[in-house]
Chains A and B, each alone.
Chain A
Amino acid sequence: MDKLPWLGASVKRKEDDRLLRGSGRFLDDVEETLALHLAIARCPYPHARIRRVDATRALECSGVEAVLTGEQVVARTEPITVLRPFPGSAPTVFHGMAHEVARYEGEPVVAVAAVDRYVAEDALELVDIDYEPLPHVVTVEDALRPGAPQLHATVPSNVVVESTVRAGEPDRRLADAAATVEGTFRINRVSGAPIETRGVIARWVEDTSTLELVSSTQTPHLLRAQLAHCLRMDETDVRVIAPDVGGAFGLKIGVYPEDIIAALVAIDTGRPVKWIEDRTEFFRGAAHAREAVHALTLGADGAGTLLVLRDRYLIDLGAYHGPLGPPLLTSIMLAGPYRLHDALIHRRVVLTNKVPMGAYRGYGQAESNYVREVLVDRLARRLGQDPADFRRKNLLRPDELPYKNVSGVTYDSGDYARALDLALSRVGYETFRARQKECRQQGRHVGVGMSCYVEFTGYPSSAFLGRTGARFGAYESVTLRMDRAGRAAISTGVSTFGQGTETTFAQVAASLLGLDPGDVAIHRGDSQGTPYSVGGFASRTMIAGAGAIEKAAGQIRDKMLRIAGHILDVDATALEATAGVVRRRDDPSVHVSIKRVSESAFLGHPLPPGEDPGLEATAYFDPPSSAFGYGTVVAQVEVDPRSGEFALQRYVLVHDCGTQVNPMIVEGQVQGAVAQGIAAALFEELVYDRDTGQLVNGTMVDYFMPTAADLPAFELDHLETPSPVTPFGIKGVGEGGTIAAAAAITNAVCDALAPFGVELDRLPVTAESIWRALARARAKR
């Protein structure tokens, strides 16, 4: 294959110019004349019967045009479908608005549309709503207790689904194990919390009887499909456009109640209807993430060979299936990068009266990495082994890959131990134990912790997704079109929210077509005029998108070579497209510009006999396999055992995401993901009061997103082991940085406090939680 000049190039981003000037076009920047603005009243209770909704006084307000109630929404729409539920899940009926019963604090109850948001909020205060609070449950344990309120008639005992994965003979192995460790871990409920909240503008186009939606979404096509279904319309009659999106991280996937509400009001009033989520609504409506409880056991033999893994875990789903569903990768990646044949993983997805859970960077992998890697350290300690040595012994070697793990997925390629060794050497591990000893003698407690991960990126084929109950495919698609100036344009349904797709797609296309990335324009995010797309999530965009670009560009390039061959009177097989020309490989002086070739295509002449005019192609690419990134995080901390205060002194991540299209963008993605990983490990938690069932800290003031002053500089390094199963060897990279933070830092703290026998089993790790762990350890002695 010809060299790909723009792969591996840190090309500056095309999207930067407009974003830097403040000319980005985010949802609220779209101003529609005559737009109505929505304000939504939301249930203030975790669980309540809605006895009465009276909007008479609100409707009388000057400037108020419409009111929408739950009764109307339920009568006119279908419940929200779930894009990727656990197979076998009991359904929950989740309408665009609550009617008769609301099941989480924040569930929409009535909407007012007015000339601006200020007036809409004034009018909202005039809506009379009678609530009758009902018994609530806000922990999975409470939800499972006998006599607990059943949240849905369709879900007995609040268990949406229960299933088991078994491999080998886990009970035997556990019985044989020389050493076992177990722990019960509570993982915090968090929010991806992008700086731009959700929002939507809905417009009914009378002339064509179609609905147009501008939405801050990661998935225009999937939103379109789900919304059409809810509204009982054909997809063909719904258009979804994603403008610039101010961050998403998994929570802007699929249709939300507010999309349905805006659409109905737009249809009823004939005016554009805008809803911009405020931050108070955000914490009570945008998908929550990660909360789970794991009871994990690991077993090893006396020599330190990992033998078996047993996990019973609960996912705290919230009150409904949200538009995507709960994270699914927890059990799939629980075994991690280790050699393991025997496992028992039992999971239950449980309903509680909280905001529905969705995806957040990692989609279950941060959770499974945390519980496993913390126990790996405990197991090593139990056996008197160094945690690095224990891991090295059990990490899969490159020659063992491809390797099918206990959950049935096949890791493609990688050198896991090399990432571990590199990370350890970066932190100076060889001399660390000596330094640690010295410090201890001075009364200072420093510690190093590590976490190894392997990461599931992309989806392994639409067939696989279909078999496992997903309502979307694994493919991506592009339409690639040359113009008379010899420049290219890619139309893709993928929306961008920071990952630099405009630039990286251009790099791939330019490499294949012999152009400069500056000559490749990207039109994205509009379901009209773009081929079916799935969307930006699951670290799949580059893999699937590059594959689609490769196919489409291949067709165009072949045609360009044929046309050029005709113009130059040279056989097409002797030609290559590069640096703006098509030329003979063995004699570059024989060439014709790509511009000239394009002109021919558009003039329809001169063309080889039988060749159609035009120079464009649409291609779909369905990846045959997922690709598995991997890495190791090593963290160094110092802890004050008196107060529990600690400092994260060093944070090293060595990762491998296969071929890097744009190393600068890759590094940016990893840095951002690392920050979110540390944020969830050390700072953030959505706290619900068990007695009142209410969200205690649903404001930016009380939800502790770290500032620049709270985070250290990260030390990143990378390996590049191309995947054998993806286009160009690319693996996904957007999520990996979040995976190993919690475990590495937890392990570092426990390492620092090893003389005290401290064990940590919940997140976030805070000075107070360390202090409590120290007290527990003292009490045990």
Chain B
Amino acid sequence: MSARVTVTVRVNGRAYERVVESRRLLVDFLRHELQLHGTHVGCEQGVCGACTVLLDGEPVKSCLMLAPQAHGRSITTVEGLAGRSELHPVQQAFRDAHALQCGYCTPGFLLGAVALANRGVALEGVALREELAGNLCRCTGYQNIVEAIERYLRQAAGGRRDG
């Protein structure tokens, strides 16, 4: 039997304490232990990025972390973005630009974009595409995703200047 450890972690602002198997992948912990299904599994090899979450505000691939590593940390998943009725501006931007089709890769892209906005970088074009290389999409061909994020980052940077 695998060893178990106690993990205390803050997810989307809420504190959780759980006892988990040491070998449990963080993505499985979020999905099945905490029932937060918005983070998806696409490869378990750290390539597709569907499992991307924000760890203390930075995008990381949750299939590349063991759940115990989240102890004492703060995680944001896609469920932490929207309000009860309103979509987060990045989600609105995706909707407006038709930047999702099946939606499976979408949460990873959304969180990556939010992290960029929080850093105040308004990337575009090739520079933005390179920043997004850790997230694969098979449905959209990326074009609308890039457009959505460009618009969102411009708005977010503009807002910061004004606000």
A residues with CB within 8 A of B: 10, 12-13, 15-17, 19-26, 28-29, 31, 62, 118, 192-197, 244-247, 249, 276, 278-279, 497-500, 664-665, 667-669, 671-676, 699-701, 705, 707-711, 713-714, 737
Contacts of B36 in A (CB 8 A): 22
Please name the residue on chain B nearest to A196 by beta carbon. B104
CA distance A278 to B110 in the complex (A): 24
* CB nearest neighbor in A for B126: A709
Q: Which residue from chain A places its CB closest to the CB of B2 in the assembled complex?
A: A118
Cα-based distance from A709 to B136 in the complex (angstroms): 10
How many angstroms from the CA of A704 to the CA of B45 in the assembled complex? Answer: 13
Name the distance in Å between A657's Cβ and chain B's nearest Cβ: 16
Task: Given A26-B40, A672-B138, A709-B132, decide whether A700 and B48 contact each other with a Cβ distance below 8 A.
Answer: yes
- Contact at B143–A714, with CB atoms within 8 Å? yes
Distance between A631 CB and nearest chain B CB, rounded to angstroms = 15
B39 touches A22 (CB 8 A): yes
Q: Is the CB of A708 within 8 A of B145?
A: yes
Instruction: Please tell me if the beta carbons of B32 and A31 are within 8 angstroms of each other in the complex.
Output: yes
Let me know if B5 is at the binding interface, CB within 8 A. no
User: Do B106 and A676 touch (CB < 8 A)?
Assistant: no
Which B residues touch A62, using CB under 8 A?
A: 1
**B105 proximity list for chain A (CB < 8 A):** 195, 246
Decide yes or no whether B144 CB sits under 8 A from chain A: yes
Interface residue B50 (Cβ < 8 Å from any Cβ of A):
yes
A709 touches B98 (CB 8 A): no
Query: When chains A and B are docked, how far (Å) is the Cα of A584 from the Cα of B88?
Result: 44
Q: Is B17 an interface residue (CB 8 A)?
A: no
A156 to B41 Cα, complex, angstroms:
42
Most buried by B among A10, A19, A192: A19
Residue of B nearest to A673 (CB): B141
**Complex: how many Å from CA A705 to CA B102?**
17
Q: Are B138 and A195 in contact (CB under 8 A)?
A: yes
**B58 at interface by CB-CB < 8 Å:** no
Chain B residues closer than 8 Å to A197, beta-carbon distance: 42
- Whether B133 is near chain A, meaning CB under 8 Å from some CB there, is yes
A455 to chain B, nearest CB (A): 18
Q: B146: CB under 8 A from chain A?
A: yes
With an 8 A cutoff between CB atoms, is B95 at the interface? yes
Q: Which residues of A contact B2 (CB under 8 A)?
A: 118
Contact residues in A for B96 (Cβ distance below 8 Å): 12
* B78 (CB) vs chain A CBs: closest residue: A22
The verdict on A246 contacting B45 (CB below 8 Å), with A16-B100, A195-B104, A196-B104 known, is no
Given contacts A20-B94, A249-B138, 13 further A-B contacts (CB under 8 A): A12-B98, A16-B95, A20-B103, A20-B110, A22-B79, A196-B102, A498-B102, A671-B142, A672-B140, A672-B141, A675-B142, A711-B142, A737-B141
B121 interface contact, C-beta 8 A: no
A416 to chain B, nearest CB (A): 24
On whether the beta carbons of B87 and A17 are closer than 8 Å, the reply is: yes
- Report Cα–Cα, A708/B146, bound state, in Å: 8
- Indicate with 1 or 0, residue by residue over B142-163, a CB within 8 angstroms of chain A CB atoms: 1111100000000000000000
DSSP majority for the B interface? loop
Are A498 and B101 in contact, CB atoms less than 8 angstroms apart? yes
- Residues from chain A with a CB closer than 8 A to the CB of B95 are 12-13, 16-17, 20
The tally of CB-CB contacts under 8 A between chains A and B is 181
Q: Which of B23, B105, B126, B142 has the most CB of A within 10 A?
A: B142
Q: Complex formed: what's the CA distance from A691 to B50 in Å?
A: 35
CB pair B45 A699 closer than 8 Å:
yes
B10, CB-defined interface residue at 8 Å: no
Within 8 Å CB of B91, what residues of A? Answer: 20-21
B35 & A31 in contact (Cβ 8 Å cutoff): yes
Write the nearest CB–CB distance from A643 to chain B, whole angstroms.
21
Complex Cα–Cα for A22 and B82 (A): 10
Whether A500 lies near B103 (C-beta < 8 A) is no
Q: A19-B106, A22-B77 are in contact. Are A709 and B82 (CB under 8 A)?
A: no
Partner of B130, one of A23, A498, A701, A709: A709
Closest-by-CB residue of A relative to B50 is A195
CB-CB under 8 A from B78, the residues of chain A are 20-22
Query: Given A13-B98, A279-B44, A665-B98, are A671 and B103 also a contact pair (CB < 8 Å)?
Result: no
Question: Quick check: A701 and B132 within 8 Å, CB to CB?
Answer: no
> Is A668 within 8 A of B50, CB to CB?
no
Q: Which residues of A contact B81 (CB under 8 A)?
A: 21
Q: A22-B78, A498-B103, A701-B47 are in contact. Are A708 and B132 (CB under 8 A)?
A: yes
Cβ-based interface call for B18 (8 A): no
> Can you list 12 A-B contacts with CB-CB less than 8 angstroms, sorted by A residue number?
A22-B77, A24-B103, A28-B40, A31-B32, A194-B102, A195-B137, A196-B42, A246-B105, A247-B102, A673-B141, A700-B47, A709-B129
> Which residues of the other chain, B, contact A276 by a CB distance below 8 angstroms?
41
Give Cα A118 to B33, complex, Å: 14
Given A249-B138, A499-B101, do A707 and B133 touch, yes or no (CB 8 Å)?
Answer: yes
Q: For A12, what are the chain B residues with a Cβ–Cβ distance below 8 Å?
A: 95-96, 98
Contacts of A10 in B (CB 8 A): 98
